Amino acid sequence: HEIKTPIAAAHLVARNNPSPEMDAVDAELDAIEGYVEQALYYSRGTSLDRDFQIREVVLADVVRDALRHKARTLIGARVAPVLGELDAVVHADPKWLSFVLGQVLVNAAKYRREDGEQGHVRIWAERRETGLDSWVTLLALADDGIGVPAADVGRVFDKGFTGENGRRFARSTGMGLYLVRELCEKMGVSVWMESEEGAGATVFLSFPDMVERA
């Protein structure tokens, strides 16, 4: 945790001396901060089981928190959030869920569209029936970036997997979506991706019905 202090100090220096060069430094500090955050979650390992508290959370609140933390990353990548219905209440750890959403948002920025146009990430939730008197709340984050090759979609949550996009852009650690899957599993949340190369990617989180979890 001690590394966060010099990062915060460097952020302060960069923002107090505005210039294109300092803006670039600030962006790189954001990236370093993201890697540190990943490392902290990964290093905790099994101790994560003692570090979370499942409770009722309003999806809109957690989405706003994740967007606030990743605002500079999204702005720098010219990716704008488009929010839909998010009033649903689910069972989750708000800190963990915010981290999970943050990783997905970083990917939306990292693999943004290549034509230089404004990109978007649409975020919405809906209730979906899965069987007789069985429902889930589905949270979706859909970007309009470069998408994921069909051969890679089934492996994007594997530990260390970077895939074709990671090789092309050299910006992937292969840990972000792995941690997404690990944290979601511990919260009892299903997660998967649907994508078409060149047409963006959508990450879905499925929260079991709160009545079933009671």
Q: What is the pLDDT of residue 159?
A: 84
pLDDT value for 53: 86
Q: What is the pLDDT of residue 13?
A: 72
Spatial distance between the Cα atoms of 201 and 103, rounded to a whole number of angstroms: 14
In sequence order, the β-bridge partners of residue 51 are none
- Under 8 Å between Cβ of 202 and 212: no
Q: Which residues make Cβ contacts (< 8 Å) with residue 15, sequence separation at least 6?
A: 22, 26
Kindly report whether the global pTM for this prediction surpasses the value 0.85. no
pLDDT tens for the chain, 214 residues long, are 566 667 667 767 777 777 777 767 767 666 676 667 766 766 665 555 666 789 999 999 999 999 999 998 999 899 999 999 999 999 999 999 999 999 999 999 989 887 778 999 999 999 988 877 788 999 999 999 999 988 888 888 888 767 666 566 556 666 788 999 999 999 999 999 999 888 999 999 999 986 544 4
pLDDT at 99: 93
pLDDT at 213: 45
d(Cα 157, Cα 203) in Å, to the nearest integer? 11
Torsion of CA 148, 154, 159, 164, to 10 degrees: -30
Q: Are 98 and 65 in contact, with CB atoms under 8 Å apart?
A: yes
148 and 197 in contact (C-beta within 8 Å)?
A: yes
The radius of gyration of the chain from alpha carbons, rounded to an integer in Å, stands at 17
Provide the token pair at 204.
Answer: 């879905």
Question: Contacts for 1-4 with beta carbons within 8 Å, 24 or more apart?
Answer: 1/40, 3/36, 4/33, 4/36
Alpha carbons 213 and 208: distance in angstroms, whole number: 7
Cβ–Cβ under 8 Å, residues 91 and 55: yes
Those residues whose C-beta lies under 8 Å from the C-beta of residue 126, and which sit 6 or more positions away, are: 85, 88, 137, 138, 140
Task: Say how many C-beta atoms besides its own lie within 10 A of residue 171's C-beta.
Answer: 14
CB–CB of 107/176 below 8 Å?
Answer: yes
